[in-house]
Structure 1
Amino acid sequence: MSGKPKLTYFNGRGRMESIRWLLAAAGVEFEEAFLENREQYLKLIKDGYLLFDQVPLVEMDGLKLVQTKAILNYLAGKYQLHGKDLKDRAQIDMYVEGTLDLMGMILMYPFSPPEQKEKQLASIIEKATTRYFPVYEKALKQHGQEFLVGNRFSWADVQLFEAILMIEEKKCDVLAQFPQLQAFKAKISNLPTIKKFLQPGSQRKPPPDDAYVATVLKVFKAD
């Protein structure tokens, strides 16, 4: 191995995308292996790579890391993106948990039945603008700092930025009533490591399409 983290997942966003974002934000290069058929998935299980028979899988530091939150926590700690002390970490974790809830709804959207998509999308937008974004808008306004916690760049900022971009793909003016989040987005998008990951040709994945959905279903469901 090259020493770079190796990420095993589908060639698409899913639950691995936040891991890609966090590594990219930390300026860490990584390699990827893509699952394309069920046989690859079953071999990972047989060879003992997947603790709970689930991906994402990240191999680094001699570890076979699974479970998305555990992987993200490890990376945040390793690359000093988890705050300066335990109080910061608790605040970061609360923000992250909320953002992950919102992102989870977006991740499941491509797999919903066609007749439910319009209603589901409306629900996602409604929750983003009434339950989640107001929390971050208020926090940024109250402390008057550029980042969510402790005036330093953290995992919470990366996660929120990713979530904003995901929602904007569904509704481009979703931040219209959130001036603090607009400024936050502009600030984060110009950080060197983030700016690099936003460029064409990076390992950032496009929105899921029908081919991605079909591959996921093929791998997880036996014929």
Structure 2
Amino acid sequence: MAPSFKLTYFDVRGRGEAIRFILHQAGVEFEDNRISKDQWGTIKPTTPFGKVPILEEDGKQVTQSLAIERYLARKFKLTGKDEWEALECDVAAETLGDLHTQVVQAFFNPDASKKDELKGTIIKDQAPFYLGKFDEQVKKNGGFLVGGHLTWADLHFVATLQVSCDMLGSDIVESHANLKTHRDMVLNLPNIKAWVAKRPTTPF
């Protein structure tokens, strides 16, 4: 019998969407368990480390979004053709994470004026720096991040950058032609396109 998957996360895309992308691209059915902030207080003490997302497979639970993504990517053959490509996938995801963490910190800054200042700095400085290099990487790899073919890094990248754009209130991908084409390619994968068309509408 095929494994039974359950993903528990808040009712947003956030750090759960890349996991959803991988599962949908792999054609795997799973329970998309979305919880509210009101529910979280009750659920949190029952989780492994008080964090979400949580992936449950046949009753076994694990947390940490990137670890979950890597596990699923290995399981569904999305890590590239060899260990070096698997490493390059990790590097791409971790490096994008450096930028995305800045975006999240800015978005949730309680000081409205400071929030705007931080977001402006990211849009003006950090985003062009990171995305310029990623744009070159995609061009070099024939429209993909790694190895000239689809890997979990592509799915992670598009799902995460969509969240970053929403949090910043700016399409930071638009001015990078290769990344824009890359995003369009991922979003037009049949399984991803079908998911995006039906997924719940959330702010980020």
* Shared fold, TM over 0.5: yes
Quote the residue 1:202 is aligned against.
Answer: 199
Conservation of the 8 A alpha-carbon contact between 1:14 and 1:107: no
CA distance in 1, matches of 2:175, 2:54: 38
Could you say what the CA RMSD is over the residues aligned between the two structures, in angstroms? Answer: 2.2
CA distance in 2, matches of 1:61, 1:135: 40
Residue identity in the other structure for 1:129: P
Q: Secondary structure at the match of 2:12?
A: coil
5+ long unaligned stretches in structure 2: none
C-alpha displacement at 1:190, in angstroms? 1.1
Quote the residue 1:127 is aligned against.
Answer: 126
C-alpha displacement at 1:176, in angstroms? 4.2
C-alpha displacement at 1:17, in angstroms? 2.5
C-alpha displacement at 1:4, in angstroms? 3.6
Given the alignment, which residue of 142, 155, 168 partners 2:152? 155
CA distance in 1, matches of 2:66, 2:29: 20
Q: Secondary structure at the match of 1:146?
A: coil
Of structures 1 and 2, the larger Rg is shown by: 1
Quote the residue 1:111 is aligned against.
Answer: 108
Within a 5 Å distance, the mapping from 1:47-196 to structure 2 comes to 49-50=47-48, 52-113=49-110, 114-125=112-123, 126-130=125-129, 132-143=130-141, 145-169=142-166, 170-172=169-171, 174-196=172-194
Q: Secondary structure at the match of 2:62?
A: strand
CA distance in 2, matches of 1:193, 1:157: 14
RCO higher in structure (CA 8 A, sep ≥6):
1
Alpha carbons of structure 1 residues 196 and 108: separation in structure 2 relative to 1, 3 Å: farther
CA distance in 2, matches of 1:26, 1:109: 33
Conservation of the 8 A alpha-carbon contact between 1:99 and 1:159: no
CA distance in 2, matches of 1:166, 1:14: 6
Q: Secondary structure at the match of 1:153?
A: coil
Conservation of the 8 A alpha-carbon contact between 2:22 and 2:155: yes
CA distance in 2, matches of 1:55, 1:198: 22
C-alpha displacement at 1:78, in angstroms? 0.8
CA distance in 2, matches of 1:72, 1:141: 24
Equivalent pairs counted in the alignment come to 196
Superimposed CA distance per residue, residues 29-65 of structure 1 (whole angstroms, 9 cap, x where no aligned partner):
22133253312222x1xxxx41x23222110144211
Structure 1 stretches of at least 4 aligned residues deviating more than 6 Å after TM superposition: none
CA distance in 2, matches of 1:117, 1:150: 38
Quote the residue 1:217 is aligned against.
Answer: none
C-alpha displacement at 1:110, in angstroms? 3.6
Q: Secondary structure at the match of 1:206?
A: coil
CA distance in 1, matches of 2:175, 2:50: 42
TM-score by length of 1: 0.78
